[in-house]
Amino acid sequence: MAELHDASKSAGHLIEVREDGSALRNDGVELSPAGQNPWYVLATVYGEPRNPLDADVIAKNRRIWNGWACAGKSPEERAALAKKVDLPVEELADLTEVERQAIEDAFAARLGGAIPVPDNNQYIDMSEIHFSNTVVLEKWIFNAAASFHSASFSGFAYFGSASFGVAAEFSDQMFDGQTVFTGTKFLGAVPKFYQRDFHQDTEFTTDPDLWPTITAENANESKRAYTRLRKVMNELQNPDDEHFFFRQEMECKRHLENWWNRWPIHLFKWFSGYGHSITRPVAWLAGSVVVGGSVIGSYLRTNGTTGNASIWEGVGVSFANTFPFLGFGRNMHPNFFEKAPAWLDAFSGAQSIFGVILLFFVGLALRNRFRIK
């Protein structure tokens, strides 16, 4: 491990930022200015936005990037991508001659014409650079793998509603300003944020549909990435997002365990949504009362109780079985179990155990929903 210039600071802390935008990290690693990176030049052909509200510059830059990224795509593919990022399909059309010339002019002015415009199927490499200004990549389409490894973001970083179709690498270094990944679609792989420090005001999307489908093939790698994100949210004191990433972890684990260890995870999901759902255990409790009432009511009907009395008495006994700690059992047909067959005793006991477990899941969900870190 490299020797630190200042032992009291993290390895990624910037100890020097130069006028040209380059920077020196605490561990001695040099970061190039973002303005000298060909992919960032391509992303800011019309200049860097002065702030997140610089809508005109952001829109023109996005049009250039998405037109470049979607070159060679079929009309159907463009329409699907446009829907993903909620943009008119026209914004993903082939670049015009004027737009192509704007790219050439930007590369000539900022890079001296020495570096060609990258192909859109190339690995997008924005690693080991210093973003000294606001970065807004809202609704940007990344059709190739993208790396921001060891990239330092000194200002506001906005990736809202962007679409990463392959891998996204953000490990190492830090976000010094507000960071937004709200609505961002990570469709190819779970992004990696190992050894990266985050600003306190960091947002991630918690819609599972915007994260990659978990399979047996990607579960192991995905679980490690989700574990890191869960720990980040714990450090940022964000319990809601922390629990989301915990649920994603459990989904990965469900694919990794053998069948014997997998079934408790399945049950945990079915009955409680991994400890997040209030509706599921309440619905199962209601189902226990209704099904139990039907079974017990049928038994009572065959043993002399007639009409609606058997139904309501069956529901009452079933309710008492499901919530035994309430003490209703002694009021609901007190002599019921004296003549009940063994199978009905066993059924009632199972109801009581099931009810206690489900009530625990209700309490767990309430605790996870309303806890204060």
Would you list the DSSP string of 284-352?
A: HHHHHHHHHHHHHHHHHHHTT--HHHHHHHHHHHHHHHHSGGG-GGGTS-TTHHHH--HHHHHHHHHHH
pLDDT in tens, 183-217: 999 999 999 999 999 999 999 999 999 999 999 99
Is the confidence at residue 309, as pLDDT, over 70? Answer: no
> Mean pLDDT over residues 270-294, rounded?
93
CA 146 centroid distance within chain: 18
> Mean pLDDT over residues 292-296, rounded?
86
Cα separation, 146 vs 86, in Å, equals 21
- pLDDT at 52 (0 to 100): 84
- β-bridge pairing 14-17 and 23-25: antiparallel
What number of CA atoms fall less than 13 Å from residue 242's CA on the CB side?
14
Collapse the DSSP code of 43 into the 3-class scheme (helix H, G, I; strand E, B; otherwise coil) and give the result: helix
Q: Quote the radius of gyration of the chain (alpha carbons, Å).
A: 29
- pLDDT at 273 (0 to 100): 94
Is the confidence at residue 218, as pLDDT, over 60? Answer: yes
Burial class (CB in 10 A: 0-12, 13-18, 19+), 112: exposed
- pLDDT at 261 (0 to 100): 87
What percent of the chain is predicted at pLDDT more than 90?
71
What percent of the chain is predicted at pLDDT more than 70?
94
Is the confidence at residue 331, as pLDDT, over 70? Answer: no
pLDDT classification of 39: cutoffs 50, 70, 90:
very high
Largest CA-CA distance found in the chain, in angstroms, rounded: 97
Q: Which run of H or E residues covers position 360?
A: helix 342-370
The structural domains of the chain, with segments of one domain joined by +, span: 14-212, 279-370
For 41-62, b where at least 16 C-beta lie within 10 A, e where not — what string?
bbbbbbebbeebeeeebbebbb
**At a CB cut-off of 8 Å and minimum separation 6, what does 107 contact?**
38, 41, 113, 115, 116, 117
- pTM score: 0.87
Report which residue type is found at 332: M
Q: Which residues pair with 99 in a beta bridge?
A: none
pLDDT in tens, 237-253: 999 999 999 999 999 99
pLDDT in tens, 103-145: 999 999 999 878 999 999 999 999 999 999 999 999 999 999 9
**E strand intervals along 159-265:** 163-164, 168-169, 173-174, 179-181, 185-186, 196-197, 202-204
> Mean pLDDT over residues 67-73, rounded?
95
Q: Give the position of tokens 């490299």.
A: 2
